[in-house]
Chains A and B, each alone.
Chain A
Amino acid sequence: MTFTIPIDNGDSVKTAEADSQRTLYPYVTGTSIVAIKYKDGVLMASDMGGSYGSTLRYKNIERMKAIGKHSLLGASGEISDFQEILRYLDELVLNDNMWDDGNSLGPKEVHNYLTRVMYNRRNKFNPLWNTLVLGGVKNGESYLGMVSMIGVSFEDNHVATGFGNHLARPILRDEWRADLSFEDGVKLLEKCMRVLLYRDRSAINKLQIAKITEEGVTVSQPYSLKTFWEFKAFNNPTAGAEGSW
């Protein structure tokens, strides 16, 4: 039983004996993020759920946040680690502003920073348990990338995390085009989110869609999607074979 002395260095309380830390498993988790590039920039969608194991415990969690003037970060996975990443990025943006040189961090830079953070934590066997989606627009160039908890990082025209990998990406591969309008982009994302709502147990019917263009970042108000249950086959599915499902 060792007595540990807290050292307050302003940011966090560390113990005198540096305990070998490792995140073993996530507690409060967010499910899929889906994002696409479109004509004027990037669109990203996520629901507002925070699951605690199988319980849909929190229903008002914002999993997409603006970073600086040009980027939007969406996260799935452990929410406490996402909150910590936002603190790191806050410091990054603050230091960038303090230079007061007219420059501002763009999505490429933020994505690179996050990749380094995630990969280095992975090397220490203490990952931040998130899959991050970073989208942004700077100087007319749209950018969309992803970093996983093991530091795998890449850019693409459309990305998805978690269940979205399996359910949304096939839809996006089929229906995405470079010149999508805002309306078509939103409809495409909503198609993906609806499928996720039907088929992902940890999805909830309360979502937000965020838009990043040269003008800036906007996150929509929370809203719900209508779902369809009127297939005839849904009415009496076991009529001919009692006990089946």
Chain B
Amino acid sequence: MDLNLDAPHSMGTTIIGVTYNGGVVLGADSRTSTGMYVANRASDKITQLTDNVYVCRSGSAADSQVVSDYVRYFLHQHTIQLGQPATVKVSANLIRMLAYNNKNMLQTGLIVGGWDKYEGGKIYGIPLGGTVVEQPFAIGGSGSSYLYGFFDQAWKENMTKEEAEQLVVKAVSLAIARDGASGGVVRTVIINSEGVTRNFYPGDKLQLWHEELEPQNSLLDILNAASPEPMAM
């Protein structure tokens, strides 16, 4: 099995952005791979652009980092000139500008999500090629293939903040279960009029899926538990 440690860093990834009644919830896994090797098992793929706009990054780690760096820089200047927070739409359009005009060189799919006072919570998907699509929810990355059916069934309009975050965590966790390029922890970022909240869900906080077993410290614990001992009630 060839590890190919010289392969470009790619975030196989599962990224999700969901609107709810009052804001947005962004979610992602935390695996960055170099070929078959996991270069970073705790990456943060949800990157800040402004106080109120974040972007989920997928595809080439380098490309997505440099695009978001440029856009953060542009938005910073734009905010100063404008005199007020940038809108989610403008942020999405700046990402689109770079993604479209450099489409031959970039390999990154992005989901822009945030809250502004004009439109409230908004999610914009920007896949390969530089198309911009405003959506009530967006999924991306290699892990998203396993979530189309799930969202078709589970998504509903006007969820509460708690429902939306639970949906995102469940979805990323399901994708991690089946996509080799996704893994690690589930990170979420909730953005609304009140501000931004970051959450972190390590594997042991997540529900178990098909063919997954309860994690143990050692086989010895199982063997000892199985031997006939009076049950302590």
Binding site for B on A (CB under 8 A): 6, 12-14, 19, 21-24, 26-28, 50, 52, 55, 57-58, 60-61, 78-80, 83-84
Contacts and interface: CB of A to CB of B under 8 A. Distances in A.
Contacts of A80: 100, 103, 129-132
B104 interface: yes
Contacts of B128: 27-28
B130 A12 contact: no
Contact of B98 (A13, A26, A28, A55): A13
A27 B101 contact: no
B133 interface: yes
Nearest to B98: A13
Contact of A23 (B103, B125, B131, B133): B103
Q: Tell me what chain B mostly uses at the interface: helix, strand, loop, or mixed.
A: mixed
A84 B100 contact: yes
Contacts of A55: 145, 148
Q: Tell me what chain A mostly uses at the interface: helix, strand, loop, or mixed.
A: mixed
B97 interface: yes
B166 interface: no
A21 B102 CA distance: 9
9 contacts: A13-B97, A21-B104, A27-B129, A28-B131, A58-B135, A79-B131, A80-B131, A80-B132, A83-B132
A225 B135 CA distance: 23
Contacts of A60: 133, 135
A58 B127 CA distance: 11
A13 B129 CA distance: 16
B70 interface: yes
Contacts, number: 53
B105 interface: yes
Interface residues of B, number: 20
Contact of A58 (B97, B105, B133, B145): B133
A64 B17 CA distance: 27
A229 to B, nearest CB: 21
Contacts of A26: 129
For the complex of A and B, the 5 pairs showing the least CB-CB separation, nearest first, are A27-B129, A80-B131, A80-B130, A79-B131, A80-B129
A60 B98 CA distance: 24
Contacts of A22: 104
Given A6-B70, A55-B145, A55-B148, A12 B101 contact: yes
A57 B132 CA distance: 13
B227 to A, nearest CB: 52
A9 to B, nearest CB: 12
Given A58-B133, A83-B132, A28 B104 contact: no
A20 to B, nearest CB: 9
Most chain A beta-carbon contacts within 10 A, residue among B97, B101, B128, B131: B131
Contacts of B131: 27-28, 50, 78-80, 83
A18 B131 CA distance: 23
Interface string B120-146: 000001011111110100000000010
A27 B106 CA distance: 13
Contacts of B104: 19, 21-24
A60 B148 CA distance: 15
A52 B127 contact: yes
A50 B130 CA distance: 13
A29 B131 CA distance: 10
Contacts of A84: 100
